[in-house]
C-alpha cells in the first residue's frame, strides 16, 4: 500500500499488477532513489574533496568525489564477466557449506 500511496494509485491498480510488473516498478524506483541520493551526497563529497586537497597541498594525493562516496550507482550496474560471476558463485557455495 505504500507504493499505492506514494504514486497516488488505488488499491485496485496495485492489485492488477503482475509480480513481474511490480518487481520492475520497484527496481526502477530503487535505481531512481540511489541516483538521486548519490547526486545529493556528491555535493558534500565535492566539498570534502576540495578541503582535503587544500589541506594536502601539492605533495599529497589529489582526492576526488569517489574517494568519499564511492563510484556512482550507474557504474555499479555494469555487466559482470563470466569469471566474476564464477567467483561469486564459489564464494556463495563456501558460505552455504558445500555444493549447491
Give the helix/strand (H/E) hosting 83.
Answer: helix 82-96
**Mean pLDDT along residues 25-41:** 89
**Mean pLDDT along residues 45-74:** 90
Is the pLDDT confidence value at 63 over 60? yes
What's the domain count of the chain?
Answer: 1
d(CA 79, CA 93): 21
Write out the residue range of the structural domain in which residue 89 sits: 2-96
Radius of gyration of the chain (CA): 21
Within 8-81, residue ranges assigned H as helices are: 11-15, 19-56, 66-69, 73-76
Q: How many CA atoms lie within 13 A of 86 on its CB side?
A: 3
Contact 61, 49 (CB under 8 A): no
The model's pTM:
0.59
Measured in residues, the chain has a length of 100
Amino acid at each position: 500500500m505504500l507504493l499505492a500511496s506514494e504514486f497516488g494509485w488505488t488499491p485496485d491498480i496495485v492489485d492488477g499488477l503482475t509480480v513481474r510488473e511490480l518487481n520492475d516498478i520497484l527496481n526502477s524506483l530503487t535505481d531512481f532513489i540511489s541516483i538521486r541520493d548519490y547526486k545529493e551526497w556528491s555535493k558534500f563529497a565535492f566539498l570534502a574533496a576540495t578541503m582535503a586537497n587544500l589541506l594536502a597541498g601539492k605533495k599529497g594525493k589529489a582526492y576526488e568525489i569517489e574517494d568519499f562516496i564511492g563510484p556512482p550507482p550507474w557504474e555499479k550496474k555494469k555487466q559482470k564477466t563470466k569469471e566474476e560471476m564464477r567467483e561469486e558463485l564459489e564464494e556463495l557455495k563456501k558460505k552455504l557449506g558445500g555444493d549447491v
